[in-house]
Amino acid sequence: MDVIKHLSSPEHEPITCIDMHTCGEPTRIIIKGYPSLTGTLLEQRSQAKTQHDHIRRRLMLEPRGHYDMYGAILRQETEMTSAGQANIGVLFTTNDGYSTMCGHATIALGRFLVDTHDLDVFPNRKKLRFNPEEKTAQLRLHAPCGVVEITVPTTDDGARSDPSRPVSFTSVDCFATALDVKIQLPNSSLWPSNFSVVADFSYGGAFYCFVNVRQLPFLRNGLTSFDMDVANQFTKVLKATINSESNLSYSFKHPKENDLSFLYSVILVDDTLGTALPDSQGAEAGLCFFADQQVDRSPTGSAVSARLALAYARGKLKFGDSWTYHSLVSLKTRDEAAFVGTVLEEVNLGETMKYPCVKTKVKGHASYTGHHVFITEKDDLVGNDGFTMQGLAT
């Protein structure tokens, strides 16, 4: 610590982080040292992008992070916290920017925000609602997509989270936007000439494109055994193709917020894999490529909400039905590391929607991995901008 104090200066404020993972997917929670932001949460998101993006790069990318690092910047004051509709806000960070919702990070944040009693970090900690019968605490998190309610299992007195039981969150309004869309891909040596795929699109706090792997000749074995590089190239080309086709922009158009209207991820779905956890009707697996081709180790919580909305739109699930969603990590390690999603209710957005809009519940486990204090040194030749090996190779 003496070294850190010696190297620190007002222009190089140390940044304190708590690191966690949810089903193997990291969340680096920035709890102290981030510059002040003002305005609504979406305005704060814009400020973070335009004025402080060097901090995201330093913490997410090498040498402090890595290509698949994920982050969460706590925002103690937002328009929703001021109105009493949320306990705290958050901005989510990726390898190339700022996402609008993240389920795995929300699960991790639920545990941390119950565990911390530092009122500088979480001023509204004492306002959490504790249920002594269920031994749970409830908190409202203001994410860029809206307010989500998190239920965190606790110790008998509510002072700490109980890691043996899963955290759950209730989603923002979720809805399918397009089903069975045929998309023609540019020619490649990886697939036949004039190759097309059929995809679905849905929103769960961010917009997702879903492709069943059984239609892909280079994934004949599904997600049991495959070439990750080929899957990466395919999803990258597919996402670029979708973004280049103006006639497909409706599939990731939010009815109320333009800032939410972008395609965040492509997910490869294998509905033949996975063990159903207790109280769920079935299981499937998925592999998520998001942001700049980050690979999600978790089943992707906001995508689970989007998949539930898809299943409801297709009539495959009804209210109260639950489904187990696996990632490669839970498939290969512990089934219990999967997420379980439940369709809660249908809601009216007050807009003309092609498919129904639903609320969902997603639950999973998160664990702590570390506590870090990061610094910058003015004479550091390569470490203060952040880099990736993938970026250096292009």
Which sign does the torsion angle of CA 352, 353, 359, 362 carry?
Answer: negative
Residue with tokens 């949810």: 22
Instruction: Report the 10 Å Cβ neighbour count for 257.
Output: 12
Catalytic residue among 102, 174, 288, 357: 102
Phi, psi dihedral angles at 284 (to 5 degrees): -155, 170
Instruction: Report the 10 Å Cβ neighbour count for 1.
Output: 7
Distances (CA, A) of 332 to 96, 220, 363: 28, 19, 19
Residue 102 annotated to the active site: yes
Contact 205, 101 (CB under 8 A): yes
Return the structure tokens found at 338: 């999967």
Distances (CA, A) of 69 to 74, 94, 337: 17, 7, 19
Residue with tokens 């911390």: 116
Length, in residues, of the chain? 394
193-202: string of b/e by CB count within 10 Å (b at 16+)?
Answer: eebebebbbb
- Tell me which residues are annotated as active site: 102
